[in-house]
Amino acid sequence: MSGLDSNPFADPVDVNPFQDASITQATSRAPTNLGEYNPFSATEMGDYTGTTIPASAASSQPAVLQPSVEQSAKATAAAATADLIKQQQELERKAADLERREQELQNRTTNRESSPGAKENNWPPLPKFCPVKPCFYQNFEEEIPDDYRRICKRMYYLWMFHCATLFLNVLACLAYFTADPSRGVDFGLSILWFLLFTPVAFVCWYRPVYKAFRSDSSFSFFFFFFVFFLQVAVYVIQSVGIPSWGNSGWILSISVIGTNLAVAVVMMVVAGFFTVNAVLALILLKMVHAKYRRTGASFTKAQEEFSKGVLTNRTVQTTAASAASSAAQGAFGRNQEN
């Protein structure tokens, strides 16, 4: 029965794992004098008597890395230097472009003066079968700089309007002559003014201002101002309409109202055209003078250009040489007679 009273869950042999031979040998080799280590004991603290700093007293601000002032100044200076270099390159490019245009214009002018046949004249634009050939070369896009091109074209349009007004003046004087046969003088003079003032205006004030804008000539500017001021005075006289002067102006047209209203209306239209010519001429004269002041032209330069042109002109040189030769021969002949 003793076998029935035993614990069925107990091991048949009660084995203690810590009594194993290897474990017993390892534990027997440990030093016996190893005591319990306490880092906060007085012995371990030694003679340290300093005070501790509480955590709340320390600065609670986070550490922030400040950017370098020197690096920021260098970056700003580098950006400013790059900007200045870019601006300088842009200015140099514009200066080179301007110099190139001036050189091209000077080369074109020199080539045309040295060899007039290099470019065929294209004005007036006459048909090829016409026996009369063009007398001038005119090209606004090629010869006139951009700053002066618009004002130069306006001067050309003023000349065209001037020619149209003179032609209408011939028609108005013709109508006046048909209404009053005793006014043949006005009709004849109107034809003369049309045939005379049309080419004279082109040669005496339009071409000089064209040359002035083309080559920045001081002499051409001064010649234009002198002649064009006289042209403005002529416009004023034509718009007034003095009888027997060949101009259908306001005085003459108003005097015809009582005799022939239709002729008077035609003459008043022409008088209005003359008035518009005078007003436009004054406006353009002021605009050309404003452009002239920016070119740096002067009276001294005009004198130099005139003297240089006279001295280098072949016709003048030939005439002067002929006059000097004739004077020398005459003096030599008188000496022989004496």
pTM here is 0.59
Confidence band for 293, pLDDT divided at 50, 70 and 90: confident
Confidence band for 211, pLDDT divided at 50, 70 and 90: very high
pLDDT digits (tens, 9 = 90+) for 221-245: 989 999 999 999 999 999 999 999 9
CA 281 to chain centre: 26
Q: Is the four-CA dihedral 97, 103, 106, 107 of positive or negative sign? A: negative
The predicted pLDDT at position 29 comes to 56
Among residues 163, 173, 194, the alpha carbon closest in space to that of 253 is found at 173
Question: Token pair of 287, please?
Answer: 């605009």
Q: What residues have CB less than 8 Å from 156, skipping those under 6 apart?
A: 206, 210
**Mean pLDDT comparison of 93-102, 123-132, 296-305, highest-scoring range:** 123-132
The lowest-confidence range among 186-190, 285-289, 295-299 is 295-299
Task: In whole angstroms, give the CA distance from residue 19 to residue 13.
Answer: 14
**Mean pLDDT comparison of 46-50, 253-257, 297-301, 331-335, highest-scoring range:** 253-257
Residue 181 has pLDDT above 70, yes or no: yes
The residue ranking higher by pLDDT, 308 or 288, is: 288
What value does the mean pLDDT of the chain take?
77
Q: How far are the Cα atoms of 181, 248, 261, 272, 292 from residue 267, in angstroms, in the given order?
A: 16, 5, 10, 9, 37
Phi-psi region of 63 (alpha: psi -120 to 50; beta: other; left: phi over 0): beta
pLDDT digits (tens, 9 = 90+) for 12-53: 555 565 566 666 665 565 555 545 555 555 554 555 555 555
The predicted pLDDT at position 57 comes to 47
Q: How far are the Cα atoms of 139, 316, 325, 335, 338 from residue 329, in angstroms, in the given order?
A: 48, 20, 6, 10, 14
